[in-house]
C-alpha cells in the first residue's frame, strides 16, 4: 500500500456511515476486507455507496466498491477469497477503457443471500479519480476514499437514477461549504 503518512486527513468517517445488513453485517465485512487488504499492502480507495456515506450521508447500500490499479486486482481477489468471497464474475467491461469491474460475492451461510465486492479497475477514464483520492480517519486509523469530485465523476459515468440523485446531493453540499 502506498505510504499514507504525508497526506493530510480530508475528514472522518461519520458514525453509522457503514451501516449494516440484516444478513451479513456490512460494517464487519468492510472492516475485515480493509484489514486484509492493508495487511497484504494492496493499494485501493473506497468508492460507491460507502464513499457516498463518507462524503454526504449514509444511505442503503448492499455491496462494497473499491477502486484499484489493475496490478492490484489479483492480490485483492486473494484477500477477498480468504474471507469467503468465492463466487466470481468478471471481468465485467461496461465500457472499454472506462469501466471494468471484477465482482466477488460471499454467500450468507444461513440465508444464502449474497454480499458483493466490486473491484473497479483504474482505467484511463478513472485515472483522474484515482489521482485525487483522499485519506480520511476512521475507527481503524485512516483509509483512502475517492474524493467528492471523483465520486461525482464516477456516478456520472453510470448515471442511474440513484447516481443522479447522489450527484445533486454532492453538488448541493459543495455549494454550502
Question: What does the pLDDT look like over 39-54, one tens digit per residue?
Answer: 999 999 999 989 988 8
pTM of the model: 0.82
Q: Where are the domains of the chain?
A: 9-147
Domain topology for 9-147: Beta Polymerase; domain 2 (3.30.460)
DSSP secondary structure letters along 85-127 = --EEEEEEEEETTTEEEEEEEEE-TTT--EEEEEEEE--GGGH
Residue with cell 468471497: 85
Residue 93, strand partner residues:
100
pLDDT at 123: 96
Residue 33 — pLDDT band, cuts 50, 70, 90? very high
Q: Which residues 6+ apart lie within 8 Å of 45 measured at CB? A: 51, 66, 67, 68, 130, 133, 144, 145, 146
Instruction: Locate 12 and state its grid cell.
Output: 472522518
Q: What is the pLDDT of residue 177?
A: 53
User: Distance between CA atoms of 54 and 136, rounded to whole angstroms?
Assistant: 9
CA atoms within 13 A on the CB side of 46: 27
Across all residues in the chain, what is the average pLDDT? 84
Amino acid at each position: 500500500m502506498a505510504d499514507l503518512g504525508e497526506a493530510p486527513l480530508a475528514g472522518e468517517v461519520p458514525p453509522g456511515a457503514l451501516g449494516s445488513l440484516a444478513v451479513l453485517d456490512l460494517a464487519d465485512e468492510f472492516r475485515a476486507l480493509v484489514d486484509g487488504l492493508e495487511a497484504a499492502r494492496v493499494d485501493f480507495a473506497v468508492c460507491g455507496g460507502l464513499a457516498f456515506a463518507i462524503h454526504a450521508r449514509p444511505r442503503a447500500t448492499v455491496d462494497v466498491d473499491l477502486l484499484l490499479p489493475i496490478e492490484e486486482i489479483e492480490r485483492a481477489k486473494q484477500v477477498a477469497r480468504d474471507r469467503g468471497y468465492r463466487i466470481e464474475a468478471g471481468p465485467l467491461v461496461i465500457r472499454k477503457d472506462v469501466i471494468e469491474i471484477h465482482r466477488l460475492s460471499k454467500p450468507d451461510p444461513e440465508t444464502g443471500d449474497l454480499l458483493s465486492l466490486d473491484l473497479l479497475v483504474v482505467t484511463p477514464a478513472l485515472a483522474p479519480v484515482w489521482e485525487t483520492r483522499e485519506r480520511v480517519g476512521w475507527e481503524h486509523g485512516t483509509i483512502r476514499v475517492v474524493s467528492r469530485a471523483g465520486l461525482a465523476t464516477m456516478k456520472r459515468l453510470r448515471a442511474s437514477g440513484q447516481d443522479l440523485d447522489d450527484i445533486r446531493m454532492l453538488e448541493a453540499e459543495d455549494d454550502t461549504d
